C-alpha cells in the first residue's frame, strides 16, 4: 500500500446537446462533458470513514461513498461547481471523481474502464436504474453519440461555446418520461424527427458550424415542446437567450425545468441579460476529444495517521 496520505481528483458534469427523450425509444442522442466539475479530496484519518466537508447536502452521499471506500480511515471533502439536480450529471461526476481519487490515494491511476465500472455502482445509489450515460460521459470526457444498448461512440466537436441558464426548478425525469410514453403514438413522428436531427448535427458539431447548430437546437426545442416536456420557465429562458443574440437554445435533459443551453458565439450579452433578470447562468465550452490533462488526479505523499 502506498504511503499517500491524501489525494484529490475531479470529473466533469455533462449536458445532453440533442436527442433527450427520443433516446428512450432507440433514437440517437449526443451528450458532452462540460468544463464544470465535482472534486473529491480524500485524506487518511483515524476512526470511521466520514464526510469532512461538502457543498451538497444529500442523504444518499454516505451510502454512495460506502460503495467504494473502506468503513474506516478515510475523510472525504466534496465540492461541485455543477448545479445539483438539474440534469447536469453532478452525481455521476462525483462517482467518477471518487473512483479517481481513491486510485490516486492508492498511488495509481484509474483508467476509463475502472471509472465506468465502479462509478456505476455509485450512480445506482443516486438514481436506482440509470442508463449509465452520465457517468460514462464523465469518465470519457468529450462528446459522444449514444444509442441505447450500445457503447457511447466518441465524436469530434470543434469548439462549442454554450451558455447554461438555470430555471432553478428540478424536473421530475421519471414523470416526464412517463408523460411522453402516455402521449405515444401521437408523438412518434416528433421523436423520429429528433433522432434524424441528431445525426444531422454530428457533422455540424465537428465543423463548429454554430449557425447550423443553433438552428438545430431551435428545432429540437420546438419538438420537445410538442411532446410536452418544456415548461413556461424553460420557454422564458429560451426566449431570453435568443433575444440576447444566441444562435439557438433548448432545454437540456428531461425538461419540466432543469437547465436551458444556448449556443452563443459571444456569451457576454446572454450572460448580461440573464443577470438583469436574476437568472443564474454561466458559460461552458465543449471540446472533443478532451485534453486528458483536464482531469488531473493528485496525491500527497507522507505517512498516514494510525487508524
Q: Is 177 in the site for ligand PMV (CB under 6 A)?
A: yes
Nearer to ligand PMV, 20 or 219 (CB): 20
Q: Is 123 in the site for ligand PMV (CB under 6 A)?
A: no
Nearer to ligand PMV, 43 or 123 (CB): 123
Q: Is 204 in the site for ligand PMV (CB under 6 A)?
A: no
Q: Is 206 in the site for ligand PMV (CB under 6 A)?
A: no
How does strand 143-146 pair with strand 153-155? Answer: antiparallel
Size of the site for ligand PMV (CB under 6 A): 11
Question: What is the spatial distance between Cα 277 and Cα 273, in angstroms, rounded to a whole number?
Answer: 7
Active-site residue (options: 134, 166, 190, 295):
134
User: Contacts with ligand PMV in 68-97 (CB under 6 A)?
Assistant: 87
Alpha-helix runs per DSSP H in 29-89: 61-66
Q: Is 16 in the site for ligand PMV (CB under 6 A)?
A: yes
**Cell digits for 78?**
466534496
Nearer to ligand PMV, 21 or 223 (CB): 21
Label each residue of 215-271 as H, E or C.
HHHHHHHHHHHHCCCCCHHHHHHHHHHHHCCCCEEEEECCCCCCEEEEECCCHHHHH
The CB-of-42 to ligand PMV minimum distance in angstroms stands at 27
Q: Is position 134 annotated as part of the catalytic site?
A: yes
Largest CA distance in the chain: 64
User: Contacts with ligand PMV in 241-260 (CB under 6 A)?
Assistant: 253-254
The SS3 of residue 41 is strand
Question: What is the spatial distance between Cα 220 and Cα 230, in angstroms, rounded to a whole number?
Answer: 11
Residues that bind ligand PMV (CB under 6 A): 16, 20-21, 23-24, 87, 131, 173, 177, 253-254
- Residues with a known catalytic role: 134
Amino acid at each position: 500500500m502506498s504511503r499517500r496520505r491524501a489525494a484529490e481528483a475531479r470529473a466533469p458534469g455533462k449536458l445532453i446537446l440533442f436527442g433527450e427523450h427520443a433516446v428512450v425509444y432507440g433514437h440517437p442522442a449526443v451528450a458532452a462533458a462540460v468544463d464544470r466539475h465535482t472534486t473529491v479530496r480524500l485524506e487518511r484519518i483515524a476512526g470511521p470513514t466520514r464526510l469532512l466537508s461538502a457543498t451538497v447536502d444529500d442523504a444518499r452521499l454516505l451510502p454512495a461513498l460506502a460503495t467504494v471506500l473502506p468503513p474506516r480511515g478515510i475523510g472525504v471533502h466534496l465540492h461541485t461547481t455543477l448545479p445539483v439536480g438539474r440534469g447536469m450529471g453532478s452525481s455521476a461526476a462525483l462517482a467518477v471523481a471518487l473512483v479517481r481519487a481513491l486510485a490516486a490515494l492508492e498511488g495509481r491511476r484509474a483508467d476509463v474502464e475502472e471509472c465506468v465500472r465502479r462509478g456505476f455502482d455509485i450512480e445506482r445509489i443516486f438514481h436506482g436504474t440509470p442508463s449509465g450515460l452520465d457517468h460514462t460521459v464523465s469518465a470519457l470526457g468529450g462528446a459522444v453519440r449514444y444509442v441505447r444498448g450500445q457503447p457511447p461512440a466518441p465524436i469530434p466537436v470543434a469548439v462549442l461555446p454554450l451558455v447554461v441558464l438555470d430555471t432553478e426548478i428540478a424536473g421530475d425525469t421519471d414523470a416526464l418520461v412517463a408523460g411522453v410514453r402516455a402521449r405515444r403514438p401521437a408523438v412518434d413522428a416528433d421523436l423520429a424527427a429528433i433522432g434524424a436531427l441528431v445525426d444531422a448535427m454530428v457533422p455540424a458539431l465537428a465543423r463548429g458550424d454554430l449557425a447550423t447548430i443553433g438552428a438545430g437546437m431551435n428545432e429540437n426545442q420546438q419538438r420537445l415542446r410538442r411532446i410536452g416536456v418544456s415548461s413556461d420557465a424553460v420557454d422564458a429562458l429560451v426566449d431570453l437567450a435568443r433575444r440576447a443574440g444566441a444562435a439557438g437554445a433548448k432545454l437540456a435533459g428531461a425538461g419540466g425545468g432543469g437547465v436551458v443551453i444556448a449556443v452563443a458565439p459571444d456569451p457576454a450579452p446572454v450572460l448580461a441579460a440573464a443577470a438583469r433578470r436574476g437568472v443564474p447562468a454561466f458559460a461552458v465550452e465543449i471540446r472533443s476529444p478532451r485534453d486528458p490533462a483536464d482531469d488531473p488526479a493528485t496525491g500527497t505523499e507522507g505517512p498516514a495517521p494510525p487508524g
